[in-house]
Amino acid sequence: MRGGHDLGGRQGFGPIRPEPESAEPVFHSEWEQRVFAMTLATGMLGQWNIDQSRHARERQHPVDYLARSYYENWLAGTEKLLLETGLLSTEELKQAMAQVRQNQASRDTSGARAASAKNLRIPGPDDARKVLRSGGPASRKLGSPPRFASGERVLLRRKLTSGHTRAPAYAQGCLGRVQTCLGGHVFPDANSAGEAIAHHLYSVCFDSRALWGADAEPFTVRVDLWEPYLEAVDAKSDRGG
């Protein structure tokens, strides 16, 4: 499956017109701030991880995903997770949406009640400040050495999946060359299913012509890819890279 979120290398969507960096606001509307805060706050309940959060957004119908703005997709994903974990009921969501349509902002505490019913600790502002200011290491220790070395040619496997993956479709089936190993990191495909498994992560260089054909403008694309995505290439292969 290739969802609406996997846009790398696609054509037909028109030119990208970024806002001037000096003028682009962090948020374009007050509601975007609320969605951002709500996504972080509900994530702190510990009922899902970052890859499950990403996959919840990706599980929308592609038409819906493309029709929505960035933070609308964040909201859709958070709603899905709240419903799936039982922290919010369908009826409560309908009631909240009806109140919004009537411009009657609700400060209902049903979500907090549901969290309390599941014996979850409700994080407060101090918890949020600590998390946002401190962060934490992303690397993981592994018991085995990297399979691939710098300069080695590798193939990004083709794999259709209904789950979450960080292997972009436009590079699947293409040859690249390992630039460096970035150490052990949680494997997102497994993490999105609730399994915190770690694998070696590599920065892999792809020639634009290996990705888009001999007529492509020559440049290099670097993609961070986990070891299970990659396979070794026979040194005698002449398929590019």
Q: What is the 3-state secondary structure (H, E, C) of 191-210?
A: HCCCCCCEEEEEEEEEEHHH
Q: What is the mean pLDDT of residues 46-71?
A: 94
Write the DSSP symbol of residue 241: -
Determine contact, residues 241/153, Cβ cutoff 8 Å.
yes
The answer on pLDDT for 238 being more than 70 is no
Q: Which two tokens stand for residue 11?
A: 């054509």
Q: What is the mean pLDDT of residues 235-239?
A: 45
State which amino acid sits at residue 49. N
Higher-pLDDT residue of 137, 234:
137
- Residue 107's pLDDT is 54
Q: String of b and e for 73-107 (b: at least 16 CB within 10 Å)?
A: bbbbbbbbbbeebebbeeebeeebeeeeeeeeeee
Pick the range with the lowest mean pLDDT from 109-123, 183-197, 211-225: 109-123
- Residue 203's pLDDT is 98
| Interval 142-152: pLDDT, tens | 999 999 999 99
- Residue 237's pLDDT is 47
| Interval 66-100: pLDDT, tens | 999 999 999 999 999 999 999 989 998 888 778 77
CATH class entry, domain 140-232 = mainly beta
State which amino acid sits at residue 63. V
3-state secondary structure of 110: helix
Q: What percent of the chain has pLDDT over 90?
A: 63
- Residue 236's pLDDT is 43
Dihedral pair phi/psi, residue 157, rounded to 5°: -60, 145
Q: State whether CATH 2.30.42.10 applies to domain 30-134.
A: no
The answer on pLDDT for 136 being more than 80 is no
The band of 140, judged by pLDDT with boundaries at 50, 70 and 90, is very high
The band of 112, judged by pLDDT with boundaries at 50, 70 and 90, is low
- Residue 111's pLDDT is 59
- Residue 135's pLDDT is 74
- The angle at the Cα of 120, spanning 115 to 122, to the nearest 5 degrees, equals 75
Write the DSSP symbol of residue 20: P
Q: Domain-by-domain residue ranges, the chain?
A: 30-134, 140-232
